[in-house]
Amino acid sequence: MNNKRSNFTRIYFIGMAIIIIVMLYYAGSGLKSNDYKYNDLLNDLQNGKVTQLNISQNKEVPTGKVTVKLQDGSTKYVYITDVNQVISDIKDINDKTNQNIQPAIADVRRDSVFLTNILPMLLMGVVIVVVIMMMNANAAGGNSKMANFGKSRAKMVVEVKNMDFSKVAGLKEEKEELEEIVDFLKNPNKYIMLGARIPKGILLEGPPGTGKTLLAKATAGEAGVPFFTISGSDFVEMFVGVGASRVRDLFAEAKKNAPCIIFIDEIDAVARRRGTGMGGGHDEREQTLNQMLVEMDGFGVNEGIIVMAATNRVDILDPAILRPGRFDRKVLVGRPDVKGRKEILEVHAKNKPIGDDVDLEQIARITSGFTGADLENLLNEASILAAKAGKHFLTQAEINQAMIKVGIGKEKKSRIISEKEKRITAYHESGHAILFHVLPDVGPVHTVSVIPTGAGAAGYTMPLPGKDEMFLTKGKMLQEIMVDLGGRIAEELILDDITTGASQDIKQATATAKAMVTKYGFSDKLGLINYDDESDDVFIGRDLAHSKGYGENTASVIDEEVREIVIENAGLYPELTGFNNLKMLSKLNKKIDDEQIRKTIVRVGLNPNDKRSFKKYSLGMKQRIVIAQAIMEKPDILMLDEPTNALDEEGIEQIRKIIKEERERGAIVLIASHNKEDIEVLADKVFSICNGMLKESEE
């Protein structure tokens, strides 16, 4: 087909070239320039310079052309409008000059038969032939295009012959579920004899990059059957009926090649819930979905056609396609655990030269939450870095760099940063790092850097994931919020100012708090009710007129609960009593019991049985609770900010006594205070901060 089309194109251009040449010839012959005028002819005649004259008459009488041969041997020509007038002028000049110049008058020129008849016919014939050939070519191509427009775009993949379950790592249970399908395709009779109906459809559900497509190919390769693959978006076109036609053609082709597997990737593009979105939905998409439903019902129970589909948005699929008899079985392809990640790393590391210092098991432990695609990308980025450095094998250093690049972003070491910004970043990231270190459920710290990685990220603190966890606890989520806010709190404590560097931290903390309140039922006020409506977004499977499942009063309570969780995790809970505030904090250190909490409250001069909420305390009482919070765990390092602020004389003396006792216990006490008396009484060494610089005072 390509050769024919190229021949047609070649002939077409040759014909057009001939036409253009002829047109240029005629155009040129008629548009020649001439600087010899009729007056020049008359002057030359009078002066006796003319030796010969030839007059050629045109068909358009009396016009013509005079060719003049001069004594110097040159030949001139001039176009005339009246041949008779020229003859009369020549006769007059002859009479006056006694010359006898007689012009040779040619007969009226007749048109060439070739030029007038044959050549135009030839040219017209060439044009007609070229046009017919082009029309035939377009018709062939157009028919193939138009005829194929409604044909399926599914491709039969050949390379699945080299695929099997051994090439798929980290999906043990998922492979076990699909082995039944493989066994049926290989030995259908033993199932048919027992009246078993093999599932018509298998829906692979899971996050992007978990290996759904790879698993489908491995299933076809393991069974040794044809594998048709198509994307859900390939069905839908702007023309009505095309999608349905492609569905019909796909299943017709599958029946010809049965037993086989049809794999539809990203099926949510065509199988979304019907009647949704603005205007009630997309008619063409719905027709395509309807045809798919009909086709899945239409082929026989045990014809050997298995439809496999992949999606990461099963929540927006139409319920009709999920019923038994269509997609009967759902296989959840989740993120791999530490064992699965190690297996995946081993598969991707086979073709890579790995250094002796690379521990794949350790990499598997620190890559919690990574999918198979993420792990492959991690090793690929490490390979690129190693090649860039001129190494012949991968080392742990390249993998660590790749981890930062993949997880956080490329470090921008060339960016010019002032010393002030470096100090701010250092204090900010130290706030995160300290909390990662001291809080039991969120650490430990893996890397701390003050090198920017993006437009708003001046540095980063990367934790080292401990282990894979199926559930999040309320305590851990609160600790994550504390860590998020640690950078901002450090700025407030050290710099006496705050920056915009905590914007992403605040966003993340807010999202966590909102999930605690609306999704997980961690709010005492709202109870065990789900208020999360993120899955009900318009245009992804829900009605436009869909409203929230709660009123304005509840929305206000949600906002207040989120605010309290976020804000008060930088301090204390206003709705709780002093005792309950300390008890909430003691959950982080399970060695502290209720009796110790009571003794600590008494030690700072308060009543542990006081039922008033923290927000109703006086400023002095709040300060005492803050001191109790600091000394409750008997820390090795005690940091106090304005410890005697808002206290009366009795309270000041009591708190100073507590600080001295903590020093005698062996604790290192760091005090930030504007009270010179506190400094004189309690401090052995005094430092001052001026313009962000820490200096030891001589006083």
CB distance 398 to 385 below 8 Å = yes
Residue 115 is classified by DSSP as I
Residue 429: active-site member: yes
Cis amide bond preceding 643, omega within 30: no
The closest alpha carbon to 159, from 201, 235, 213, belongs to 213
Amino acid at 206: G
**For residue 692, is it left (φ>0), alpha (ψ between -120 and 50) or beta?**
left
Q: Which two tokens stand for residue 509?
A: 């903390």
Q: What is the DSSP string of 563-599?
A: HHHHHHTTS--TTSBHHHHHHHHHTTSTT--HHHHHH
Strands (E), 119-226: 155-156, 201-205
* Opening angle at CA 630, ends 629 and 633, nearest 5: 85
Count of C-beta atoms within a 10 Å radius of residue 229: 21
Residue 471 to residue 480: CA distance in whole angstroms: 14
Half-sphere exposure of 26 (CA within 13 A, CB side): 9
* Helix, strand or coil, per DSSP, at residue 477: helix
Q: Which candidate in 266, 286, 398, 429 is catalytic?
A: 429
Amino acid at 537: D
The closest alpha carbon to 333, from 230, 249, 244, 219, belongs to 219
* 473 Cβ contact list (under 8 Å, min separation 6): 441
3-state helix, strand, coil in the chain (%, to 5): 50, 15, 35
Residue 499 to residue 426: CA distance in whole angstroms: 13
| Residues tagged active-site | 429
